[in-house]
Amino acid sequence: MDIRAEDMIDIAMRAGTLVLQNGGETYRTEATVDGIARSLGAKTASSFVTPTVIQFSYTDENDHYHSAIRRIKTRGVNLRKIALIDELTRRIEHRQRKGASASKAGARPVDAVQIERVLKRIDSAPTYPVWVMLLMSGLSSLCFAFMFGGCVAEALTAFVIGLLLRAFLILSSRSHPGDFLSSLLSGAFISILTELAFVASLVPATETVLIAVLMQVVPGLAITNAIRDIIEGDLVSGNARLVEAFMIAAGLSVGSVLGLVLFTGGRPCLESVLLPSFADNLILACVWAAGASGFSAFYLNTKPFDSIWGAVTGAAGWLAFRLTGGTGAGGSAVSYLAGALAVAAFSEVMRLIRHTPATVFLIPGLLPLVPGGGMFKTMRAAVQGLSSEALSLLYTTLLAAGAIALGIALVSGVVKLFRRRP
């Protein structure tokens, strides 16, 4: 394919930037950059990607080297754009594989201008309206509250605070505060509003509401991407993302105990008298998990139909978690492992059926399993001076996170093995 070196670099780097900026894994970014370059005529192509930098070089048909580097300063989550870039990459590679026969038949190859127009449309693709994002955020918090055994008052309070949190995140994102500061402010915002609701006697306790809303901002994406990058051999990026996930979790934990410092702590959560089956009924629990994952998929900017399958993925994971002894209050390592295996396996199946990256289903599907409550309880015990309890909770939380990581790693490893088979 006849294409200028400048166009080759611009197209490959722009596609990779869109993947990395919108929550894609490092290995996926490298595969996108290299795959597009080869499809556009590069003799060899090689890229090195970290969460904040893309380095790319290729050789043309005359063995001349061309290289570029691009700094990634802003990152967010838009799973729809990742899916669109994946679709574009497959279309370009499909055209390249049929290049010989198409050339003989006189077919017109894909030109650089056409690809750049598609990339521009993807980059400017609209997200959901703000009111949809606010509503879905509130509904996801409501479902999380019911899933964790909350009563109606707690769920409705979680809905309101979850909606306000999303508005706060949208407004604060304009000043680019950084992951740690944003997490710290989010945790404080949730904690203060939850304690105010308790002081106003709107809820019987604060714990369920606070944890339900915290699930919106837990570092599920960073943890998932770290695991998948490490499985693909990108150790530098994988460990960098693990540190990022730790910093986000630390910020949320520190911020979320601010309410404990400013207000009197809430009494233990009371079981709902009106609807006690919310915490115990397996079918209802899976419905709430599906709602939590499905509504969360909207503020993660997935396509509407993919959001439905994200909800099913979350329900499948929560069903496996509950069947192996897990409850809304937590579970054993085996329960978290079973839930993660179910989510990861279902995501890979949907990848084959929908021709969409498994990440689109994996991220929302894993949210019900992320031990956000464990992070908060650990920090709360530490602030209250309960060292032994804090260490015990920390061990339990890390064990749960490790089991989730192991489940994702096992499925990813098996899929990678079968992909390499001749």
Q: What is the pLDDT of residues 244-287, one digit of tens each?
A: 888 888 788 788 777 777 765 444 433 343 444 455 688 888 99
Answer yes or no: do 324 and 395 share one domain: yes
CB atoms within 10 A of CB 233: 10
Whole-angstrom CA distances from 134 to 29, 139, 140, 291, 310 are 30, 9, 10, 15, 19
Answer yes or no: do 274 and 390 share one domain: yes
Predicted model pTM: 0.84
- Please tell me the predicted confidence (pLDDT) of residue 101: 53
Domain end marker among 86, 108, 123 = 123
C-alpha torsion 246→248→249→254, nearest 10: 120
Of residues 329 and 315, which shows the higher confidence score?
315
- Please tell me the predicted confidence (pLDDT) of residue 99: 59
- Please tell me the predicted confidence (pLDDT) of residue 276: 45
Domain end marker among 78, 100, 123 = 123
Answer yes or no: do 112 and 147 share one domain: no
- Please tell me the predicted confidence (pLDDT) of residue 207: 82
For the chain, how many structural domains are there in total?
Answer: 2
Most confident among 65-79, 278-292, 335-349 (mean pLDDT): 335-349
Answer yes or no: do 68 and 183 share one domain: no
Of residues 112 and 213, which shows the higher confidence score?
213
Q: Region 30-38: what's the mean pLDDT?
A: 89
Q: Tell me the β-bridge partners of 58.
A: 45, 66
Residue written as token pair 């396996």: 345
- Please tell me the predicted confidence (pLDDT) of residue 370: 84
Side chain identity at 420, as an amino acid letter? R
Answer yes or no: do 116 and 217 share one domain: no
pLDDT, tens digit, 9 for 90 and up, residues 272-327: 434 444 556 888 889 999 999 999 999 899 988 899 999 999 999 999 999 998 87
pLDDT, tens digit, 9 for 90 and up, residues 170-203: 888 878 777 788 888 888 898 889 888 888 888 8
Answer yes or no: do 181 and 117 share one domain: no
Name all contacts of 14-17 with Cβ < 8 Å and 24+ positions apart: 14/116, 14/119, 14/123, 15/85, 15/88, 15/89, 15/119, 16/47, 16/49, 16/54, 16/56, 16/70, 17/54, 17/70, 17/72
Answer yes or no: do 118 and 253 share one domain: no
- Please tell me the predicted confidence (pLDDT) of residue 157: 93
- Please tell me the predicted confidence (pLDDT) of residue 419: 67
Answer yes or no: do 344 and 405 share one domain: yes
Answer yes or no: do 158 and 46 share one domain: no
Residue written as token pair 């006189």: 106
Answer yes or no: do 21 and 139 share one domain: no
User: For the chain, what percent of residues have pLDDT higher than 70?
Assistant: 90
Domain end marker among 123, 145, 170 = 123
Answer yes or no: do 73 and 162 share one domain: no
Q: Which domain holds residue 361?
A: 130-420
Answer yes or no: do 88 and 143 share one domain: no
Nearest-5° Cα angle at 241, 238 to 246: 130
- Please tell me the predicted confidence (pLDDT) of residue 237: 82
Q: What is the mean pLDDT of the chain?
A: 83
